[in-house]
Amino acid sequence: MKRLEPSPRTVHWGYFDASLAPVAEVVPGEVIHLRSVSGAPDDPVPSGWIPPEIPGIYAEVHDRGPGGHLLTGPIAVRGARPNHVLQVDILSVTLGAPYGYNTLAPLEGIFPEAIDRRDRQIIPIDRETGVATVPPGLTLPTRPFFGVIGVAPPIGWGRVDTAPPRCHGGNMDNKELVAGTTLFLPIWTEGALLSVGDGHAAQGDGEVNITAIETSLDGEFRLNIRSDFELALPVAVTPSHLIAMGFDASLDRAARIAVRSLLDLLVRFGGMAWRDAYRLASIAADLRVTQVVNGEKGIHVMLERMILEQLATPFPFVPRRSV
């Protein structure tokens, strides 16, 4: 298994760009252990809590894009081509620091004019129990996931902000992307060029103030190329659900995009008539607000896998579960 640690050489800050050179390469089916870091060198915490990579990254990484995300990568997958799909099996996600933070900031979040000053709150995390303590002393369990998992965007886009999620994935902030979930991303450039970061210890659907419990995480991913089907938008499969996603500046349009993506999957891979798929979505699918604060808002629609298993045609990316 390969390892990719964050360093000034292996991170990029605030942007995606298909012209970025990969910092690691894997062959299809290979597992890579990746670490992402969050925090600042002057965080008001015991010095041993601050990830040791942070000071060097802050001192040496001067090429920063408009977004705030510190991403590890990109990782090239040998043989990946445009119109292929990258299968990302999320094997494990573990807490990488004993603290995280949440920030309120003017002109950000769902109430952009309600905050008059920047307020960055440190949130202690017990890494053994996975419990975080949030103001005014409430404890809650963590459920870590990476807010940003994305391949390089189409090469003609050039350098793009990490904040809005788009067809290449990126800052989806989908809290269902925990260990045990498989994410499928359409590939837009040679090698796919996967980057990961924006670790979240816990987040509510919506991420209403624009931050979760931002923290450092370790993850293990198995990367595969799928050439047996195509996708236009990210899709995920959890142990219990199929998830289609939609992104748009309008939450209404994001909902339509997500539902149309689900219906397309049911028609193309499930052999259903469109009308029947539409009917099924209304009866059995759940629409959830992924996030409302990243410019391009997100909706994800979830359909239980046990329903799909009744279809005569098996989905190529939703294996039937053993009973």
pLDDT bin (cut points 50, 70, 90) of residue 314 is: confident
Q: Name the DSSP class of 214.
A: B
Q: Domain spans of the chain?
A: 2-96+144-226, 240-308
Nearest CA to 130 out of 142, 113, 144, 122 is that of: 142
Same CATH fold assignment for domains 2-96+144-226 and 240-308: no
- Residue 13 above 60 pLDDT? yes
Structure confidence by residue, pLDDT tens digits, 85-126: 999 999 999 999 999 999 999 999 999 999 999 999 999 999
Instruction: Kindly report whether the global pTM for this prediction surpasses the value 0.85.
Output: yes
The CATH number of 2-96+144-226, from 3.10.300.10, 3.40.50.2300, 3.30.300.30, 2.60.120.580, is 2.60.120.580
Give the span between the Cα atoms of 317 and 256, in whole angstroms. Answer: 23
Q: 55-88 burial string, b = 16+ CB within 10 Å, else e?
A: eebbeebeeebebbbbbbbbbbbeebeeebbbbb
Instruction: Give the other-Cβ count within 10 Å of 178's Cβ.
Output: 15
Structure confidence by residue, pLDDT tens digits, 31-78: 999 999 999 999 999 989 999 999 999 999 999 999 999 999 999 999
For strand 99-104 and strand 70-77, is the pairing parallel, antiparallel, or unpaired? unpaired
Give the span between the Cα atoms of 103 and 64, in whole angstroms. Answer: 20
Residues 6+ apart with CB under 8 A from 277: 262, 263, 266, 267, 270
CATH superfamily of 240-308: Acetamidase/Formamidase-like domains (3.10.28.20)
CB 208 within 8 Å of CB 293: yes
Q: Is 191 helix (H, G, I), strand (E, B) or coil?
A: coil
Mean predicted confidence (pLDDT) in 267-292: 97
Residues pairing with 311 in the sheet = none
pLDDT bin (cut points 50, 70, 90) of residue 322 is: low
CB 192 within 8 Å of CB 245: no
Q: Is 147 helix (H, G, I), strand (E, B) or coil?
A: strand
Mean predicted confidence (pLDDT) in 226-252: 97
CB 188 within 8 Å of CB 154: yes
Which amino acid makes up residue 173? D
pLDDT averaged over every residue in the chain: 96
Mean predicted confidence (pLDDT) in 262-277: 97
Structure confidence by residue, pLDDT tens digits, 143-173: 999 999 999 999 999 999 999 999 999 999 9
Structure confidence by residue, pLDDT tens digits, 186-207: 999 999 999 999 999 999 999 9
- Residue 216 above 80 pLDDT? yes
Q: What percent of the chain has pLDDT above 70?
A: 99
- Residue 323 above 60 pLDDT? no
